[in-house]
Structure 1
Amino acid sequence: MQLEVNVKQSLALKMTQEMQQSLQVLQMSAVELQASLAEKVSENPLLNIEYQDHQVDFKKIEKMALLKNHSGSATSVKHISEDYLHTKRPVSQDVEDIEKYLVEQIPSNVDLSDIEKRVLLFYINNLDESGYLDVALDTAADKFGVEIESAEKVLRLLHTFEPAGIGARSLKECLLIQMVETYSETCLPYRIVAHHLDDLAQGALKKIAVLCKVPKAEVQAAVDFIRTLKPKPLQEVASSAVEYVIPDIIVDEVGGEWVVSVNRKHIPTISINEYYAHMMKECDDETKKYLKTNLKDASILIQGLEQRDQTLYRLARLLVEVQASFFEKGLTALKPMRLKDVAELLEVHESTISRAVNSKYIQTPFGVFKLQALFAKGFLNTEGQTESTSHIKARIKEIIESEDSRKPYSDQKLAAILKEENVHISRRTVAKYREELLISNSAKRVRYS
């Protein structure tokens, strides 16, 4: 047996603690960063945190983030003032506990036995997240030893509670419950839901008109009303957390020039606690080791925050250059752009741009968008120009909005219209984009006046 020694040379990138911290901080959204900083401060005595509005020294950042002008035209970037830091975001509201809300509606004047009250509570406790009853009547009857008629009586009582449709066992029953107090069983909306719900789902209004022996215009009016009903009773009152959307980058036009900033308004200031830093000169070796470790961690964290600002700032400046038409005209003018292309222009790794884009939002004159929305896919049209999928989707939506609702365009017709505009995509691609826009097919878009 012979023993051989082979020497092989290879290159490997070793992630330092500083690099790991910087990448972690870069990947966080503003909300996640707030929570992370609060946790870091609670663990590290050498960290100070200040919860107050403050400005970032963008002159310092701009020096660190000197960017080559790749487009050949200069883009003016200035520090943004407090007046332009308006953040539009949803406001969360506390909603009463659903079970408590329903229990409080149990009428005192209704003659319910103790067993029936228990059945009612059983129903309330077995509603799914949409408000539908998630248990069969015979199951409730067997569990509490009551007749099926008694179990059904209790369910009918639950059906009188708010929100309308609560306790329904199907979509049909949910819609009928919402109409029962206002409409009779002979009215057209009630009849359509009770007997032609499948046809309604298919948009077969002509068929419904024939079966119900009424004009198509009456069917259209009835369908319009049915669509105002709630298919999920709890969809508007269910208690749910609302995620705040805080833009990480703000782009605004001031005096004819684009103003770009990294939004630090909602992120607290982190600094070194000088008292503990000075203690290292006088404390024992064990304490000194502990403080040194924490000082290093604090310094790395602060460095990571500065690196995050630098990367987002450089990215924002480049976006204003590359996607100038988007900032002037909106999504319809968005150009195709890849993470790889941006990474090459900024001379960083593609994964760095991916982390910078992750869970980030940008505020523009046209609203707040996910940063990922600016990285659009695309392809060449017949004139050799690149069209983005976002632009094509926006155009499809525009065409459909301007169509004659009595004769909606088919997907084939939409493809033909786009072809006339030098955009060649198949009918299947049009259908795919239309569905992604949550727009129904032509059969379901038709209206009868």
Structure 2
Amino acid sequence: MVQLTYDIQARQQTSLTPRLQQSVKLLQMSTLDFNRQVAEAIANNPFLEDPAEGAHASGLRAADLAMDVTKEASEAHSQEPASSGPPAAHEPDADGPGVEHLEYNVADSASGYSGDYPGTHSHADNDVGLWAQSPINLQDSLRAGLCGYELSARERCLIEFIIEALDPDGYLRTSFSDLAGAKQFSPPVSDSEWITALKLVQQLDTPGLGARDLSECLSLQLNALHDDTVGRGLALRIAADALEQLGRCDYSGLARLMACTEQQARQACALIRRLNPRPAACFTPVEPSCYVIADAIVRKVGKLWMTTTNQDVAPQVRLNNTYAKLFRESHGGDRSPMANALQEARWLVRSLEQRNATIQRVAQAIVARQQTFFDYGAVALRPMMLSEIADELGLHESTISRATNHKYLASPTGIFEFKHFFSRKLATRSGGSCSAMAVRALIQEMIEEENPKEPLSDVVLARKLAHEGVLVARRTVSKYRAQIKRPAAELRRSA
């Protein structure tokens, strides 16, 4: 007798309707991208209009709509089968049968907006700059470099995981095992596949991108030089095995270690110092056509800083009730293209209002918690997490993350991304806490005020911070110093 055993497992899976997927996409768009999306909708949907649209243009659209509605109504009447029963109930805002699952799509993530100038606008307040130039996006630049390669869907997905994991300096500091879950690929991805994908990323653009550490970053740049470059071979050996001696400018020690003359060691070190330890920095030059726009404006009202929505750049759209009434009176089919257009128009108007309200609420919650920042600068930035704003507003943390993505605040001291105000907590001697950004600002001040002939080491910086009541380890100071683009004390010392 054969006994059969069934293994039934319950699995929870999150699904998003197409409407909700689109709402999430709109929320995380920058203002420029969202303006473009709304402009395209107004151009393609006869039931949407810009409040500033001229009467003549509106009249032309009304005439076109009347012709379309009349045509659809006559076609629907001629094709409608006879029926003695009552008409079927219709729900205008339904998403239709079935639920679409939200899946990762490499092709969708590769699309981007070049950052064209938005429409002309004016504002009366000159104390707050509403424009800021935006850096070129590293990830989009790398994706563009993939256009000439014939790759399978699996290879493109692996490359996308790597590109997304690159840090602001261009390094891949995430292990292959952490890039993607073990069950995300079938069969599982081997290390050789990851290496192949990484090697391709390292060839896409500026040499050094995709390196896993400083040694590999320098080696990639040296390998990109001509073979006859003087000192290249020795420089490769130093980059691989003697970065510590290089940092100390220990030329005699390098000469002994590498079995070369001290002059050759100096020559190779000079070649290495001409390299870029942060290759992604080449993607941050400002171009005239790349701008960001402030979504909210911060001003002081009495003793408090308050935010208002930047109405000059917020897209304006409304439903043309006259056109909607004309369509309803035509008795057109509920499932006709015109009915779908009316449904899409209503949904977009609601989504715009919800998006603006969410961004305004998040902006005000941030400013309310960071009053001291706007009074005293970065050293007074309070530690703050996304979860704190989510709990205060009664929203999900992922919603806060999307509402702060590519969103900017304009203040009298400059334009700041919403995410600029989120920083983890560090302990203080008094038992309180301060933000990591405030500690970086203190380190910046200490380095700027140091004696160039006797620069402060990371150990001394940690002691000075402790004297200020901030308890951080030396390795933490080293990390923060690197984040503010300051070299080690040995390299800051002037002759």
The aligned runs of 1:301-312 (5 Å cut-off) are 301-312=348-359
The answer to whether structure 1 residue 87 and structure 2 residue 127 are counterparts is no
Amino acid at match of 1:202: L
Deviation of residue 85 (structure 1)? Answer: 5.8
Letter of the 1:440 counterpart: P
Q: Over residues 45-96 of structure 1, what are the superposed CA-to-partner deviations in whole Å (9 max), with x where a residue is unaligned?
A: 21113579xxxxxxxxxxxxxxxxxxxxxxxxxxx9655563232399xxxx
For residues 162-208 of structure 1, the C-alpha deviation after alignment (integer angstroms, 9 at most, x for no partner) is xxxxxx9739999x9xxxxxxxxxxxxxxxx9xx9999993556859
- Quick one: structure 1 residues 51 and 243, their matched pair in 2 at CA, closer, same or farther if it must change by over 3 Å? farther
Kindly indicate whether residue 373 of structure 2 is the aligned counterpart of residue 326 of structure 1: yes
| Residue 395 (structure 1) aligns with | 442
Counterpart for residue 114 of structure 1: none
1:47 partnered with 2:60? no
Q: Which has the larger radius of gyration?
A: 1
**1:263 aligns with one of 306, 310, 322:** 310
The one of 406, 417, 430 aligned to 1:383: 430
Match of 1:33 in 2: 34
Indicate conservation of the 8 Å contact 1:250/1:262, yes or no: yes
Aligned in 2, Cα 1:264/1:11: closer, same or farther, shift over 3 Å? Answer: farther
Q: Identify if the C-alpha distance between structure 1 residues 173 and 337 changes in structure 2 by more than 3 Å, giving closer, same or farther.
A: farther
Conserved 8 A contact 1:89-1:244: yes
- 1:348 aligns to 2:348 (yes or no): no
Q: Deviations over 1:375-408 (max 9, x none)?
A: 1111321211111100111111111111111111
Aligned-partner SS, 1:251: strand
Q: Are residues 206 and 88 of structure 1, via their aligned partners in 2, closer, same or farther at CA, if it must alter by over 3 Å?
A: farther
What is the alpha-carbon distance in structure 2 between the residues aligned to residue 369 and residue 202 of structure 1? 37
* Alignment correspondent of 2:477: 430
Q: Give the % identical residues.
A: 30
1:82/1:286 Cα in 2 relative to 1: closer, same or farther (>3 Å)? farther
Tell me what 1:170 maps to.
Answer: 225
Aligned mates of 2:133, 2:361 — CA distance in 1: 28
On the 8 A contact 2:298/2:308 being kept in 1, the answer is yes
Instruction: Say if 2:49 and 2:319, in contact at 8 Å, map to a contact too.
Output: yes
Question: For residue 225 of structure 2, what is the amino acid of its counterpart?
Answer: S
CA deviation profile, 1:276-304 (whole Å, cap 9, x unmatched): 21321442523884333222221211111
2:341 equivalent among 272, 285, 294: 294
The alpha-carbon distance between structure 1 residues 338 and 431, as it changes in their structure 2 partners (threshold 3 A), is same
SS at match of 1:423: coil
Q: 1:417 aligns with which of 444, 460, 464?
A: 464
CA-CA distance at 1:259 after TM superposition:
3.9
> Is contact 2:381–2:437 with CA below 8 Å preserved after alignment?
yes
Q: What is residue 63 of structure 2 aligned with on the other side?
A: none
For these two proteins, the number of residue pairs brought into alignment is 324
**Alpha-carbon offset, residue 260 of structure 1:** 1.5
| Cα distance in 1, alignment partners of residues 367 and 287 from structure 2 | 36
What TM-score do the two structures reach when normalised by structure 2?
0.53
Secondary structure of the 1:301 match is: helix
- Native 8 Å contact 1:21 1:301 kept in 2: no
Contact residue 22 and residue 307 of structure 1 kept, 8 A? no
* Residues 399-445 of structure 1: CA deviation (Å, up to 9, x unaligned): 11111111111111111111222222111111111111121111111
Q: What code does the residue aligned with 1:370 have?
A: E
Q: Which aligned pairs between 1:239-250 and structure 2 lie closer than 5 A? A: 242-250=289-297
One-letter identity of the residue aligned with 1:434: R
Match of residue 412 from structure 2? 365
- For structure 2, which runs of at least 5 residues remain unmatched after alignment? 1-10, 54-122, 136-202, 208-222, 256-260
RMSD: 4.9
For the residue of structure 1 that corresponds to 2:130, the secondary structure is coil
Contact 1:199–1:207 under 8 Å retained in 2: no
Q: Does the CA-based 8 Å contact 1:261-1:313 persist in structure 2?
A: yes
8 Å CA contact 1:202, 1:444 repeated in 2: no
What corresponds to 1:73 in structure 2? none
* Superposition deviation, residue 18 in structure 1: 6.0
Matches of 2:336 and 2:247, distance apart in 1: 73
Distance, in Å, in 1 between the alignment partners of 2:204 and 2:392 is: 51
| Aligned counterparts of 1:171 and 1:435: Cα–Cα separation in 2 | 30
Q: Report if the CA contact (8 A) 1:362-1:370 is conserved.
A: yes
Matched to 1:29, the amino acid is S
The alpha-carbon distance between structure 1 residues 84 and 46, as it changes in their structure 2 partners (threshold 3 A), is farther
5+ long unaligned stretches in structure 1:
1-9, 53-79, 93-126, 132-167, 177-192
